[in-house]
Structure 1
Amino acid sequence: MAQAAPVQKDFKDCRNAWAATLEALAGEDERIVAVVNDSIGSSKLGGFAKAYPDRTVNVGIAEQVMVGVGAGLANGGKVPFVSAAACFLTARALEQIKADVAYSGYNVKLVGQSSGIAYGELGATHHSIEDLAWLRQLGQITVIVPADAWETEQAVRWAARHEGPVFIRVSRMPVPDLDISDRSFQPGRAEIVRAGDDIAVIACGTTVHLAAAAADMLSDEGISARVLNMATVNPLDEAAVSDAAATGAIVTVEEAHVRGGLGGAVAEWTAANHPVRVSRMGFDGFRQTGSIAHLFGAAGLSPEGIAAEARRTIQTG
């Protein structure tokens, strides 16, 4: 079974970009407040708490309360960034996210830390692979899955000035910067990472650089694979999906559940608007306990695995 590539020296922890950006923004806007569930350390908010102790609200291990406090602060004119491990933020406090944030339309910024299977060895209780499927249903929330440190910074900056609820999914798994020139972060707009017209690979978050590497491998075989960084899962860039469908085959890749997440969104749109073969790569059901490399490898989430799935999809499309 193919294994995920080992972490390299030029890979970056996106949590550092998130924390540094929030701290910088707080110096410019006194409305910004951090709300956490006893996760100052894992949220990388030690510097923020030291610089702005009066704007750091630690509710303890009480995620429902945490989201409710965030909604109350937003109702009072603050710009709360509510940060916690994604598995607990989106599962334990889903009712509060639905009623207090999405339904009420409050200006709350939810930040899901250590998302996907980043807590690999802690098992299914700490994996957060269902979060995209859950939050996509709450149409008022913009759902962003940054692919690298640059995009994480841009997403946080955009969220701070955007009026409305936002969910930003931040992984603790280090990733490289994408080699895209003249980048401009636009929510709801996909980035073209690689051009191609034989098949399209649509990825988000920690899998985008793997999809790009897979496209490079396929190129050596004469297969032209388009790679899209679909950082915004809600709203979906339907024009980009339409162009992807025009290649005749699509593979979606995500560090999330294949049912209802990015793969689900793409499959739903193509089924209704441009029927085409869609193969979804990610996780399906509870994952076993194991390292990130093991779990990624078991799901085929590697350049070799993605390239192999692209070949199969072309052949069966």
Structure 2
Amino acid sequence: MDPETRGQEIIKVTPLQQMLASCTGAILTSLIVTPLDVVKIRLQAQNNPLPKGKCFVYSNGLMDHLCVCEEGGNKLWYKKPGNFQGTLDAFLKIIRNEGIKSLWSGLPPTLVMAVPATVIYFTCYDQLSALLRSKLGENETYIPIVAGVVARFGAVTVISPLELIRTKMQSKKFSYMELHRFVSKKVSEDGWISLWKGWAPTVLRDVPFSAMYWYNYEILKKWLCEKSGLYEPTFMINFTSGALSGSFAAVATLPFDVVKTQKQTQLWTYESHKSLIPRLIKIAPACAIMISTYEFGKAFFQKQNVRRQQC
């Protein structure tokens, strides 16, 4: 083991550095994964036009967001005609006819919540994991499960009211004054708990996913390192572990995802087996990109911290 590696064992990244690493990973994940969902929505809208008031789920690779169709004819990105013949054809025609920026249609508003939620989630997971390992030892296999559950539970709880407000603003075009009156009225009539409407199905899906994801990720990462004869995981080990663990968790929590989607959109037309492949196509690369970028960022900051201490 070289001196730098020994130094990295002692010198950890700070919470701020973890936040920066997770923020970078979140933005990169969104930029890479969002076009897949934009194309999927465009294809679905072509086959089944979206009338005003109908809901659909938009995913930026970090979070699922409920969107409400508005009036606007073909001006709205999800209603533009395309005459697509398939996924690849849709990609090419959107780029050629509308410009490459159209592949990220609808992304900026969703990042306002998705990025902070991801930063909270990953930073809390690492902080909790470090705390539990310092108390219970490095080899406790259930630490990733506990840390993953608590971190995801916290992130969902913080973001849930903001997502409700975002959806309401989009569906009704409220001004900020009208939104304030709406929230005040809702709280006075139904209590503060009403702001967490939709929290339960999200927790039902995301918390088990998080527990399985982190447990499998840590196990796979350790196993791949041992097989490769490495002390520290490489970018590809993190990438592979993230993709596989995300896929396992996606398959296991598919029924919860179907329930959440149906509850959100109030459309009981989806079938589990039809939802599996699109869910895997979305989640596997998102998990792989996010975790490998996050770990790369932490490793970068770790090396910087070692160099600063050695100076």
Tell me if both proteins adopt one fold, taking TM over 0.5 as the criterion. no
TM-score computed with the length of structure 1 as normaliser: 0.23
Q: Which has the higher strand share?
A: 1
Q: Greater Rg, structure 1 or structure 2?
A: 2
Q: Which has the higher helix share?
A: 2
TM-score computed with the length of structure 2 as normaliser: 0.24
